Amino acid sequence: MAFWDLATLPLAEFRPGIHSAALSGDNLIMVCMEIGPEQEDTGHAHAFDQCGMVLAGEIEMFSGQERRLLAAGHCYFIPAGERHGWKTFAAPARLLDVTPKQPPR
Amino acid sequence: MAFWDLATLPLAEFRPGIHSAALSGDNLIMVCMEIGPEQEDTGHAHAFDQCGMVLAGEIEMFSGQERRLLAAGHCYFIPAGERHGWKTFAAPARLLDVTPKQPPR
Protein backbone atom coordinates (compact mmCIF):
# COMPACT_ATOMS: atom_id res chain seq x y z
CA MET A 1 0.00 0.00 0.00
CA ALA A 2 1.26 3.42 -0.84
CA PHE A 3 0.12 6.11 1.54
CA TRP A 4 -0.11 9.90 1.82
CA ASP A 5 -0.79 12.21 4.71
CA LEU A 6 -2.14 15.26 2.89
CA ALA A 7 -1.11 17.52 5.79
CA THR A 8 2.60 16.91 5.08
CA LEU A 9 2.68 15.65 1.48
CA PRO A 10 5.40 17.43 -0.54
CA LEU A 11 4.30 18.61 -3.98
CA ALA A 12 6.66 19.29 -6.89
CA GLU A 13 6.16 21.65 -9.82
CA PHE A 14 4.30 19.79 -12.53
CA ARG A 15 4.03 22.78 -14.86
CA PRO A 16 3.95 26.53 -14.22
CA GLY A 17 1.13 27.24 -11.76
CA ILE A 18 0.53 23.59 -10.82
CA HIS A 19 2.30 21.57 -8.14
CA SER A 20 1.48 17.90 -7.69
CA ALA A 21 2.30 14.46 -6.37
CA ALA A 22 1.11 11.22 -7.96
CA LEU A 23 0.73 7.54 -7.16
CA SER A 24 -0.06 4.99 -9.82
CA GLY A 25 -0.37 1.27 -10.34
CA ASP A 26 -1.63 -0.90 -13.20
CA ASN A 27 -4.96 0.87 -13.68
CA LEU A 28 -5.25 4.10 -11.74
CA ILE A 29 -3.38 7.38 -11.24
CA MET A 30 -4.13 9.32 -8.05
CA VAL A 31 -2.88 12.90 -8.03
CA CYS A 32 -2.83 15.55 -5.34
CA MET A 33 -2.67 18.84 -7.18
CA GLU A 34 -2.37 22.43 -6.07
CA ILE A 35 -3.38 24.89 -8.76
CA GLY A 36 -2.16 28.43 -8.19
CA PRO A 37 -4.29 31.58 -8.27
CA GLU A 38 -5.73 32.88 -11.55
CA GLN A 39 -5.03 29.77 -13.59
CA GLU A 40 -7.33 28.44 -16.28
CA ASP A 41 -7.85 25.45 -18.55
CA THR A 42 -10.29 26.69 -21.16
CA GLY A 43 -11.35 23.17 -22.10
CA HIS A 44 -10.24 19.78 -23.32
CA ALA A 45 -11.68 16.29 -23.63
CA HIS A 46 -10.32 12.77 -23.28
CA ALA A 47 -11.72 9.30 -23.80
CA PHE A 48 -11.69 8.32 -20.13
CA ASP A 49 -13.50 9.28 -16.94
CA GLN A 50 -11.93 11.62 -14.39
CA CYS A 51 -13.07 12.10 -10.82
CA GLY A 52 -11.97 13.67 -7.60
CA MET A 53 -12.56 16.01 -4.72
CA VAL A 54 -11.68 19.57 -3.82
CA LEU A 55 -9.51 19.56 -0.68
CA ALA A 56 -9.04 23.30 -0.20
CA GLY A 57 -9.75 26.58 -1.96
CA GLU A 58 -12.23 27.14 -4.74
CA ILE A 59 -12.23 26.14 -8.39
CA GLU A 60 -14.81 26.71 -11.08
CA MET A 61 -15.26 23.63 -13.24
CA PHE A 62 -17.33 23.08 -16.30
CA SER A 63 -18.08 19.82 -18.02
CA GLY A 64 -20.48 19.59 -20.92
CA GLN A 65 -23.19 22.19 -20.34
CA GLU A 66 -22.71 22.36 -16.56
CA ARG A 67 -20.60 24.90 -14.70
CA ARG A 68 -20.07 24.90 -10.93
CA LEU A 69 -18.01 26.67 -8.30
CA LEU A 70 -16.49 23.88 -6.22
CA ALA A 71 -15.01 24.18 -2.75
CA ALA A 72 -13.62 21.84 -0.09
CA GLY A 73 -15.77 18.72 0.30
CA HIS A 74 -17.18 18.88 -3.22
CA CYS A 75 -16.61 15.87 -5.49
CA TYR A 76 -16.81 15.76 -9.28
CA PHE A 77 -17.15 13.03 -11.87
CA ILE A 78 -16.37 13.97 -15.47
CA PRO A 79 -17.59 11.33 -17.90
CA ALA A 80 -15.34 10.03 -20.69
CA GLY A 81 -15.50 12.22 -23.78
CA GLU A 82 -17.10 15.27 -22.14
CA ARG A 83 -15.35 18.58 -22.79
CA HIS A 84 -14.33 20.13 -19.46
CA GLY A 85 -12.12 22.80 -17.98
CA TRP A 86 -11.51 24.82 -14.84
CA LYS A 87 -10.52 28.18 -13.48
CA THR A 88 -9.06 29.35 -10.15
CA PHE A 89 -9.46 32.76 -8.52
CA ALA A 90 -7.44 34.74 -5.96
CA ALA A 91 -6.41 31.72 -3.87
CA PRO A 92 -4.92 28.36 -4.85
CA ALA A 93 -7.15 25.29 -5.09
CA ARG A 94 -6.05 21.86 -3.96
CA LEU A 95 -7.60 18.71 -5.46
CA LEU A 96 -7.38 14.96 -5.16
CA ASP A 97 -7.93 13.66 -8.69
CA VAL A 98 -8.14 10.13 -10.11
CA THR A 99 -7.93 8.95 -13.73
CA PRO A 100 -7.47 5.53 -15.30
CA LYS A 101 -3.84 4.80 -16.11
CA GLN A 102 -4.52 2.97 -19.32
CA PRO A 103 -7.50 4.49 -21.04
CA PRO A 104 -9.31 2.00 -23.27
CA ARG A 105 -8.54 2.28 -26.97
CA MET B 1 -20.41 16.42 -14.77
CA ALA B 2 -21.87 14.62 -11.83
CA PHE B 3 -21.31 16.35 -8.53
CA TRP B 4 -21.48 15.67 -4.79
CA ASP B 5 -21.39 17.93 -1.77
CA LEU B 6 -20.12 15.53 0.88
CA ALA B 7 -21.72 17.65 3.63
CA THR B 8 -25.21 16.77 2.41
CA LEU B 9 -24.73 13.62 0.31
CA PRO B 10 -27.33 10.97 1.22
CA LEU B 11 -25.94 7.46 1.66
CA ALA B 12 -27.96 4.26 1.33
CA GLU B 13 -27.34 0.90 2.96
CA PHE B 14 -24.99 -1.08 0.74
CA ARG B 15 -24.71 -4.03 3.09
CA PRO B 16 -25.08 -4.37 6.86
CA GLY B 17 -22.68 -1.91 8.49
CA ILE B 18 -21.85 -0.02 5.28
CA HIS B 19 -23.74 2.91 3.75
CA SER B 20 -22.63 4.35 0.43
CA ALA B 21 -23.28 6.41 -2.67
CA ALA B 22 -21.59 5.81 -6.03
CA LEU B 23 -20.96 7.54 -9.33
CA SER B 24 -19.62 5.71 -12.34
CA GLY B 25 -18.87 6.18 -15.99
CA ASP B 26 -17.08 4.10 -18.62
CA ASN B 27 -13.88 3.51 -16.62
CA LEU B 28 -14.16 4.58 -13.00
CA ILE B 29 -16.38 4.05 -9.96
CA MET B 30 -16.22 6.70 -7.23
CA VAL B 31 -17.80 5.68 -3.93
CA CYS B 32 -18.45 7.62 -0.74
CA MET B 33 -18.68 4.99 1.98
CA GLU B 34 -19.46 5.11 5.66
CA ILE B 35 -18.37 2.01 7.51
CA GLY B 36 -19.99 1.55 10.90
CA PRO B 37 -18.17 0.89 14.17
CA GLU B 38 -16.46 -2.46 14.81
CA GLN B 39 -16.63 -3.70 11.24
CA GLU B 40 -13.89 -5.73 9.59
CA ASP B 41 -12.80 -7.11 6.24
CA THR B 42 -10.19 -9.72 7.10
CA GLY B 43 -8.69 -9.61 3.62
CA HIS B 44 -9.30 -10.06 -0.07
CA ALA B 45 -7.51 -9.33 -3.33
CA HIS B 46 -8.57 -8.23 -6.80
CA ALA B 47 -6.78 -7.73 -10.10
CA PHE B 48 -7.16 -3.95 -10.16
CA ASP B 49 -5.87 -0.94 -8.25
CA GLN B 50 -7.96 0.77 -5.58
CA CYS B 51 -7.32 4.20 -4.11
CA GLY B 52 -8.96 6.79 -1.95
CA MET B 53 -8.96 9.01 1.06
CA VAL B 54 -10.29 8.90 4.60
CA LEU B 55 -12.81 11.72 5.07
CA ALA B 56 -13.68 11.20 8.75
CA GLY B 57 -13.09 8.74 11.56
CA GLU B 58 -10.36 6.16 11.74
CA ILE B 59 -9.81 2.90 9.89
CA GLU B 60 -6.99 0.41 10.12
CA MET B 61 -5.98 -0.84 6.68
CA PHE B 62 -3.50 -3.46 5.67
CA SER B 63 -2.22 -4.21 2.19
CA GLY B 64 0.53 -6.70 1.57
CA GLN B 65 2.88 -6.55 4.56
CA GLU B 66 1.93 -3.01 5.58
CA ARG B 67 -0.64 -2.07 8.21
CA ARG B 68 -1.64 1.52 9.07
CA LEU B 69 -4.15 3.41 11.14
CA LEU B 70 -5.65 5.97 8.75
CA ALA B 71 -7.56 9.11 9.71
CA ALA B 72 -9.05 12.13 7.91
CA GLY B 73 -6.66 13.49 5.26
CA HIS B 74 -4.85 10.19 4.75
CA CYS B 75 -4.84 8.71 1.24
CA TYR B 76 -4.18 5.10 0.25
CA PHE B 77 -3.27 3.33 -2.96
CA ILE B 78 -3.67 -0.45 -3.03
CA PRO B 79 -1.89 -1.99 -6.00
CA ALA B 80 -3.65 -4.57 -8.19
CA GLY B 81 -3.33 -8.07 -6.81
CA GLU B 82 -2.24 -7.12 -3.30
CA ARG B 83 -4.21 -8.75 -0.48
CA HIS B 84 -5.78 -6.05 1.68
CA GLY B 85 -8.40 -5.51 4.36
CA TRP B 86 -9.60 -3.05 6.97
CA LYS B 87 -11.06 -2.68 10.43
CA THR B 88 -13.02 0.09 12.15
CA PHE B 89 -13.14 0.84 15.87
CA ALA B 90 -15.63 2.62 18.18
CA ALA B 91 -16.63 5.30 15.62
CA PRO B 92 -17.67 5.05 11.98
CA ALA B 93 -15.15 5.80 9.24
CA ARG B 94 -16.04 7.67 6.07
CA LEU B 95 -14.02 7.15 2.87
CA LEU B 96 -13.91 8.36 -0.70
CA ASP B 97 -12.82 5.35 -2.73
CA VAL B 98 -12.09 4.89 -6.45
CA THR B 99 -11.73 1.69 -8.48
CA PRO B 100 -11.66 1.01 -12.22
CA LYS B 101 -15.07 0.08 -13.57
CA GLN B 102 -13.83 -2.50 -16.03
CA PRO B 103 -10.82 -4.26 -14.63
CA PRO B 104 -8.50 -5.48 -17.37
CA ARG B 105 -8.74 -9.16 -18.20
- A15 assigned to some structural domain: no
How close, in Å, is residue A15 to chain B by CA atoms? Answer: 23
On whether residue A7 sits in a domain, the answer given is no
Alpha-carbon Rg of chain B, whole angstroms? 13
Tabulate helix, strand, coil % of chain A (nearest 5): 0, 60, 40
CA distances from A94 to A33, A52, B8 (A): 6, 11, 21
Q: Is residue A68 part of a domain?
A: yes
Number of domains in chain A: 1
Which residues in chain A have their CB less than 8 angstroms from residue B99's CB? Answer: 28
This prediction has a pTM of 0.95
For residue B49, is it within any domain?
A: yes
Task: List, for residues A54-97, the tens digit of each pLDDT value.
Answer: 999 999 999 999 999 999 999 999 999 999 999 999 999 999 99
Please check whether residue B1 lies inside any domain of the structure. Answer: no
Residue A101: DSSP 8-state: S
Give residue-wise pLDDT tens across range B47-84: 999 999 999 999 999 999 999 999 999 999 999 999 99
Residue B105 lies in a domain: no
Domain-located, residue B13: no
Chain A residues inside the 8 Å CB shell of B85 = none
Q: Which domain holds residue A42?
A: 29-100
Residue A13 lies in a domain: no
How close, in Å, is residue B37 to chain A by CA atoms? 23
Residue B75: CATH number of its domain = 2.60.120.10
Percentage of chain B beyond pLDDT 70 is: 97
> In this model, does residue B103 exceed pLDDT 80?
no
Residue among A2, A23, A27 minimizing CB distance to B103: A27
Minimal C-alpha gap between A33 and chain B (Å): 13
CB contact under 8 A, A25 and B101: no
ipTM: 0.95
